């Protein structure tokens, strides 16, 4: 129950604020522009619907992860900087309950982004054969990636106690995670590219979307990548737990 | 609202300080009786930060019902002591008991007995005063109605401010709200770290009256960390002076020879030598 009260406080603090709404309005505007271009631009509209859906799914995932990093970096370091964490630690709530409440709020944020993006996914992927499967995978893998990156940045903010520094490091890790997506297809096919792809949860998610939406491959093809994402999820939750318990003010 | 469950009888026993100079030690009562009324028992507490020793084998006891002044110059280790006793940080070695519970092993039990107002207490500025207290009442699993929260706010002189956003409150009002938050679980022991910092004389006097009232009417033990000697003279019946992580002088204010100022300056000078 205490976790729920902390989660409720976090949601009111970060999401149900003018700044929070601005994020969602911005998300909605960007998705509107992307969808409009996919459907009306002469070159983009030549893409098949699977590819369009895949591209917009990548964008939604990256946005969710980015917002998770921002909220995660603020989780402990922000409260230390504002002087509010000590009163929270004085109360008979254990550190894991506090961390779980904060993580729950980040996941709520991801849930809102996912809900906001649903109409755009339906518009762009309408008529495509893997639309529902794509949405299902986006929901599951997007949630796991949100946990991975936000738990990591929350753990980091508890350890280094500086919101600015934890945000910089988190962004750097996110860029590293996203780098296989940005490198050329030829480089990705080399042994180095393949290893980088395999050990990287963000690339695993993107490759799974590709496999499901464009190549129409079944779950048996995705097991390895999904398993790696699950391992990362557990590792990052463990990192968050260790960091929250060890946090000294 | 009833803040303390029962009135604590007037204590006649003395504070014990081991291994450090103490005045009035000849009046120390028999051990069994003393142990029953001690709310804080600290033994050989050590805390180091990156090689710097913040607490160097700290020993002291506090009896129930006292207003205990914990004095010392900046950097003496006052805040570190409070953070250890409230379960926020861990000591490197030593023992600390509060209300008969081990602070390190039974932290949650201890947290139910105590509350504190930290020195640099921040507030969720976007909440109203009422929401702030309601949030903390839920974390303490205290059944608190809106009426009780209003009474608590009234008790600290914030009547009529319940729907004001904390951001709009003055520093003194925020400090009162912090005290109200620290009373939400009706603590037996209240830690206050420099509660009068930044307050005008009127605000300081109000806080003094509030603390005296809490102690006399509800028997709340108050552990007051401060370097404002005037606060100590007005409020405390016992003091301990901390310097370089050690108690250098302790005892009942009335029994210590000299004024609080003299004792403080002499003690901190001795500690530095």
Express each pLDDT in B98-120 by its tens digit: 998 999 999 999 999 999 999 88
Q: State yes or no: pLDDT of A180 exceeds 90.
A: no
CA–CA separation, A149 vs A144, rounded Å?
9
Question: What value does the mean pLDDT take over residues A202-208?
Answer: 91
CB B220 within 8 A of CB B188: yes
Question: Of chain B residues 183-212, which have a CB less than 8 A from chain A?
Answer: none
- The answer to ipTM > 0.95 is no
Number of domains in chain A: 1
Work out the pLDDT band at B33, boundaries 50, 70, 90: very low
Number of domains in chain B: 2
The string of DSSP letters for A128-142 reads: -TTHHHHHHHHHHHH
pLDDT for residue A100: 95
Record: contact B126-A89, CB cut-off 8 A: no
Work out the pLDDT band at A125, boundaries 50, 70, 90: confident
pLDDT for residue B258: 64
Q: Which DSSP category does A45 fall into?
A: G
- Which residues does B9 contact at the CB level (< 8 Å), separation at least 6? B65
CB B122 within 8 A of CB A9: no
pLDDT for residue B17: 39
Per-residue pLDDT tens digits for B58-100: 999 999 999 999 988 888 889 999 999 999 999 999 999 999 8
Record: contact B121-A13, CB cut-off 8 A: no
pLDDT for residue B233: 83
The boundaries of the domain holding residue A214 are 2-246
pLDDT for residue B9: 36
CA–CA separation, A51 vs A32, rounded Å?
17
Same domain, B72 and B163: no
> Hey, is the C-beta of B49 within 8 angstroms of any chain A C-beta?
no
Instruction: Tell me the three state secondary structure of residue B51.
Output: coil
pLDDT for residue A144: 97
C-alpha dist (Å) from residue B216 to A43, B50, B65, B178? 81, 42, 8, 20
Record: contact A83-B121, CB cut-off 8 A: yes
- From the CA of B126, how many Å to the nearest CA of chain A? 8
Q: Which residues of A touch B120 (CB under 8 A)?
A: 83, 86
Instruction: Tell me the three state secondary structure of residue A115.
Output: helix
Same domain, B107 and B195: yes
Q: State yes or no: pLDDT of A187 exceeds 90.
A: no
Same domain, B100 and B137: no
C-alpha dist (Å) from residue B7 to B113, B143, B180? 15, 22, 20
Q: State yes or no: pLDDT of B30 exceeds 80.
A: no
Same domain, B143 and B100: no
Per-residue pLDDT tens digits for B159-214: 889 899 999 998 888 988 999 999 998 899 999 998 887 677 887 888 888 888 88
Spatial CA neighbour of B40 closest among B85, B92, B107: B85
Work out the pLDDT band at B269, boundaries 50, 70, 90: low
More confident position, B7 or B42 = B42
CB A136 within 8 A of CB A212: no
The boundaries of the domain holding residue B141 are 127-179
Same domain, B105 and B154: no
Question: What value does the mean pLDDT take over residues B124-132?
Answer: 93
The pair of structure tokens assigned to A38 is: 């996919």
Strand order in the sheet with B38-49: B52-63, B38-49, B93-98, B101-102
Per-residue pLDDT tens digits for A8-56: 999 998 888 888 888 889 999 999 998 888 888 777 777 788 888 999 9
Q: State yes or no: pLDDT of A186 exceeds 90.
A: no
Q: State yes or no: pLDDT of A6 exceeds 50.
A: yes
For residue B204, the tally of other CB atoms under 10 A from its CB is: 20
Q: Which residues of B touch A91 (CB under 8 A)?
A: 111, 136, 139-140
Q: State yes or no: pLDDT of A107 exceeds 80.
A: yes
Angle at B11 between CA B5 and CA B12, to 5 degrees: 170
pLDDT for residue B128: 94
Could you give the percent of chain B with pLDDT greater than 70?
80
CA–CA separation, B106 vs B98, rounded Å?
10
Q: Does the residue B15 lie in any domain?
A: no
Angle subtended by helix axes B171-182 and B129-139, to nearest 10 = 30
More confident position, B199 or B264 = B199
> pLDDT averaged over chain A?
90
CA–CA separation, B113 vs B115, rounded Å?
7
pLDDT for residue B187: 92
CB B239 within 8 A of CB B261: no
Q: Does the residue B228 lie in any domain?
A: yes
pLDDT for residue B217: 85
Q: Does the residue B119 lie in any domain?
A: no
Q: Does the residue B273 lie in any domain?
A: no
Question: What value does the mean pLDDT take over residues A186-190?
Answer: 79
pLDDT for residue B1: 41
Q: Which residues of A touch B225 (CB under 8 A)?
A: none
For residue A127, the tally of other CB atoms under 10 A from its CB is: 6
State the alpha helices, DSSP H only, in B2-60: 31-37
CB B192 within 8 A of CB B220: no
Pick the residue from chain A with its C-alpha nearest to B124. A84
Instruction: Tell me the three state secondary structure of residue B119.
Output: coil
Nearest to B112 among A1, A88, A92 (CB): A92
Exposure on the CB side of residue A27, measured as CA atoms within 13 A: 27
pLDDT for residue B266: 66
Same domain, B91 and B199: yes
Q: Does the residue B31 lie in any domain?
A: no
Work out the pLDDT band at B267, boundaries 50, 70, 90: low
Record: contact B135-A1, CB cut-off 8 A: no
Angle subtended by helix axes A219-246 and A201-209, to nearest 10 = 150
Exposure on the CB side of residue A216, measured as CA atoms within 13 A: 5
Same domain, B156 and B131: yes
A194-213: burial string, b at 16+ Cβ within 10 Å, e else? eebbeebbbbbbbbbbbbbb
More confident position, A102 or B251 = A102
- Which residues does A152 contact at the CB level (< 8 Å), separation at least 6? A72, A170, A173, A236, A239, A240
Instruction: Tell me the three state secondary structure of residue B144.
Output: coil
Q: State yes or no: pLDDT of A158 exceeds 90.
A: yes
Burial of B228 (0-12, 13-18, 19+ CB in 10 A): middle
pLDDT for residue B7: 38
> Hey, is the C-beta of B139 within 8 angstroms of any chain A C-beta?
yes
Q: State yes or no: pLDDT of A182 exceeds 90.
A: no
Q: Does the residue B205 lie in any domain?
A: yes
């Amino acid at each position: 129950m205490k976790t729920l009260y902390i989660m409720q406080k976090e949601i009111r603090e970060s999401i149900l604020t003018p700044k929070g709404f601005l994020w969602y309005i911005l998300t909605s505007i960007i998705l509107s522009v992307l969808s409009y271009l996919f459907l009306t631009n002469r070159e983009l509209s030549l893409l098949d619907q699977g590819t369009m859906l895949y591209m917009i799914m990548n964008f939604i995932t990256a946005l969710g992860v980015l917002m998770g990093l921002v909220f995660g970096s603020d989780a402990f370091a922000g409260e230390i900087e504002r002087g509010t964490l000590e009163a929270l630690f004085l109360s008979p709530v254990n550190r894991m309950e506090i961390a779980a409440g904060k993580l729950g709020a980040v996941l709520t944020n991801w849930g809102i982004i996912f809900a906001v993006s649903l109409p755009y996914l339906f518009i762009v992927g309408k008529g495509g054969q893997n639309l529902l499967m794509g949405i299902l995978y986006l929901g599951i893998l997007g949630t796991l990636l949100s946990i991975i990156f936000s738990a990591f940045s929350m753990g980091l903010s508890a350890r280094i106690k500086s919101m600015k520094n934890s945000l910089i490091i988190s962004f750097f890790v996110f860029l590293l995670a996203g780098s296989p997506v940005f490198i050329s297809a030829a480089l990705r096919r080399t042994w180095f590219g393949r290893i980088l792809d395999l050990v990287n949860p963000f690339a695993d998610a993107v490759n799974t979307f590709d496999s499901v939406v464009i190549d129409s491959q079944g779950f048996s093809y995705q097991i390895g990548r999904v398993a790696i994402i699950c391992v990362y999820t557990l590792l990052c939750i463990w990192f968050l737990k260790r960091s929250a318990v060890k946090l000294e003010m | 609202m009833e803040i303390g469950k029962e009135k604590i009888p007037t204590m006649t026993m003395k504070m014990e300080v081991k291994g450090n100079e103490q005045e009035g030690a000849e009046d120390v009562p028999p051990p069994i009786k003393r142990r029953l009324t001690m709310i804080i028992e600290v033994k050989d507490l050590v805390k180091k930060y990156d090689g710097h020793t913040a607490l160097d084998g700290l020993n002291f006891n506090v009896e129930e019902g006292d207003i205990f002044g914990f004095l010392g110059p900046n950097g003496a280790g006052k805040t570190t002591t409070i953070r250890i006793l409230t379960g926020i940080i861990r000591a490197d070695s030593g023992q600390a008991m509060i209300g008969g519970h081990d602070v390190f092993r039974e932290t949650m039990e201890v947290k139910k007995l105590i509350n504190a107002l930290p020195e640099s207490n921040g507030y969720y500025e976007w909440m109203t005063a009422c929401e702030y207290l309601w949030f903390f009442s839920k974390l303490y699993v205290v059944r608190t109605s809106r009426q009780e929260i209003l009474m608590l706010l009234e008790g600290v002189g914030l009547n009529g401010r319940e729907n004001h956003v904390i951001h709009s409150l003055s520093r003194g009002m925020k400090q009162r709200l912090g005290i109200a938050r620290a009373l939400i679980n009706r603590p037996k022991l209240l830690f206050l770290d420099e509660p009068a910092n930044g307050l005008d004389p009127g605000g300081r006097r109000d806080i003094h009256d509030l603390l005296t009232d809490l102690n006399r009417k509800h028997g709340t033990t108050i552990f007051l960390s401060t370097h404002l000697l005037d606060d100590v003279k007005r409020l405390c019946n016992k003091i301990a002076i901390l310097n370089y992580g050690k108690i250098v002088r302790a005892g009942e204010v009335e029994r210590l020879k000299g004024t609080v100022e003299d004792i403080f300056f002499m003690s901190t000078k001795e500690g530095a030598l």
